[in-house]
Amino acid sequence: MAAEAYQLEDIPGVGPTTAEKLREAGYESIEKIAQSTASELYESAEIGEGTARKMIKWCISQTTDGEVSGESGSSDARVELALMNVKRLEIEDIPGVGPAIAEKLRDGGFLTIESIATATSSTLSEAAEIGESTAKKMIKWCREQADIGGFKTGTEVFEARLLIKKLRTLVPEVDGLLGGGFETQAITELYGEFGSGKSQIVHQLAVNVQLPEELGGLDGSVIYVDTENTFRPERIEQMVNGLEIEGADPQEFLKNIHVARAQTSDHQMLLIENSHELAEELKSQGKPVKLIIVDSLTGLFRSEYAGRGTLAERQQKLNRHMHDIFKLCDEYNAIGLVTNQVMSNPAVFFGDPTKPIGGNIVGHTATFRIYLRKSKGGKRIFRLVDSPNLPDGEATFLVEEGGLRAC
């Protein structure tokens, strides 16, 4: 369909009221929206930042002249050019929030309106030292501006899914099993016995995520929470050299991996909670965080909360921790990758007795669950156990000095 044939009401999420405001401001066609600056659109339609971005991207994708504001280039380049001009809301823009409250919110880890929009009123109230009713009003306003929390049609959800990226392992069988690679805005859990390849996959993805998209990466940085002293820069160097890319410098790859060693489970949770500040800094530097690793998720919890009497408290903290990771992934369109320890179920007499730690809390929160195990001849079995949209299946891979390889 030609761009001229579209009406403003055809834009996903645009109803009669918004369309009327756009026409009053001089935007009679989707071509005019695609050629305008995003900040003008934002103010004219009185809409949230998230909605403005989606409208601009959709309109540009429907135009065929290849130009925005007189500049030519690819569709992706034109989208980025337009989105650069979208007005960025700061915490001080929230009605009733002054410098003092804004500072308390930032100290509490709330650096963007998106992080406030997805917070609970009790958490926000405690962080900013304000009443719960005030906190609820702040959250409501932020959700409206960030376009979070309302009902959407299946078509709108489908459009939003187009923003999701895939990170490849560069092992064709594994990537095929995952539908193209590890998915952003989701948590993937890797579990298996020691030596099954969990940390090897983690190291490989910490390298691959820095590659450009045309090579299977996401051109991003890594946040790595190490709870078991498993991170090895020497292994990163080997894997970078194993890519056999001309001019690839292992030291440059290491600069983009930000590692923190967690000493206790509370420290582990705090590191994720405080990662927003680092993520914002990396975003401003043009190397946004695209991979968040916790290796391992349950090791410290397992050692500190022993016995049935502490199980409820452990599960409650694990639940909160997993949701903090998910919020971080969702906000920055990043991949959450957690490794998990296993235990043997003595009640299983036939089949594999291996069972992941963390119970239903981890199982329900993780979007994808992958079971790793050793096989003959140095092979590893990569089994997709749970996924919301992919069939279960298995793939094999090898771990060599240069990284993961197909069998």
73 and 191: one domain? Answer: no
SS3 label, residue 171: coil
CB atoms closer than 10 angstroms to residue 284: 9
Alpha carbons 116 and 136: distance in angstroms, whole number? 10
SS3 label, residue 217: coil
Has residue 158 been placed in a domain?
no
103 and 176: one domain? Answer: no
Position 70 scores a pLDDT of 40
Regarding pTM above 0.75, the answer is: no
Alpha carbons 148 and 160: distance in angstroms, whole number? 12
Has residue 152 been placed in a domain?
no
What CATH number is attached to the domain comprising 66?
1.10.150.20
In total, how many domains does the chain have? Answer: 3
Looking up tokens 């579990």, which residue turns up?
A: 191
254 and 107: one domain? Answer: no
The amino acid at residue 123 is: T
Has residue 268 been placed in a domain?
yes
349 and 288: one domain? Answer: yes
Do residues 223 and 292 lie in contact, with contact meaning Cβ atoms separated by under 8 Å? yes
Query: Which residues partner with 289 through β-bridges?
Result: 221
Q: Spell out the per-residue pLDDT of the chain, length 407, in tens.
A: 544 578 888 887 787 778 888 888 888 888 888 777 656 676 667 666 566 767 777 887 776 544 434 444 444 555 555 444 445 678 888 998 988 999 899 888 788 888 888 888 988 998 889 999 999 999 998 888 776 666 778 887 787 788 899 999 999 999 999 999 999 999 999 999 988 999 999 999 999 999 999 999 999 999 999 999 999 999 999 999 999 999 899 999 999 999 999 999 999 999 998 898 899 999 989 999 999 999 989 989 988 988 778 888 888 899 889 999 998 998 899 999 999 988 766 555 555 667 787 777 787 789 999 999 999 888 999 999 999 999 999 999 999 999 999 98
282 and 191: one domain? Answer: yes
191 and 268: one domain? Answer: yes
Position 387 scores a pLDDT of 94
| Closest alpha carbon to 188 in 14, 290, 340 | 340
Position 47 scores a pLDDT of 67
Has residue 348 been placed in a domain?
yes
Pick the last residue of a domain from 99, 116, 146.
146
Alpha carbons 294 and 321: distance in angstroms, whole number? 11
For 243, the token pair is 């890519």
Position 354 scores a pLDDT of 72
Query: Which residues partner with 354 through β-bridges?
Result: 344
How long a stretch of residues is the chain?
407
329 and 347: one domain? Answer: yes
Alpha carbons 142 and 201: distance in angstroms, whole number? 37
Burial class (CB in 10 A: 0-12, 13-18, 19+), 123: middle
Domain coverage including residue 57: 3-83
Residue 18's H or E segment, with its range, is helix 16-24
Has residue 156 been placed in a domain?
no
Q: How far apart are the first and last CA of the chain?
A: 46
Alpha carbons 248 and 253: distance in angstroms, whole number? 8
Has residue 153 been placed in a domain?
no
Has residue 372 been placed in a domain?
yes
Position 40 scores a pLDDT of 67
What CATH number is attached to the domain comprising 170?
3.40.50.300
65 and 111: one domain? Answer: no
Query: Which residues partner with 214 through β-bridges?
Result: none
Has residue 72 been placed in a domain?
yes
78 and 183: one domain? Answer: no
46 and 138: one domain? Answer: no
Position 23 scores a pLDDT of 85
Alpha carbons 400 and 392: distance in angstroms, whole number? 26
74 and 96: one domain? Answer: no
Q: Cα–Cα–Cα angle for 236, 357, 407, nearest 5°?
A: 45
298 and 321: one domain? Answer: yes
How would DSSP label each residue in 227-266? SSS---HHHHHHHHHHTT-TT--HHHHHHTEEEEE--SHH
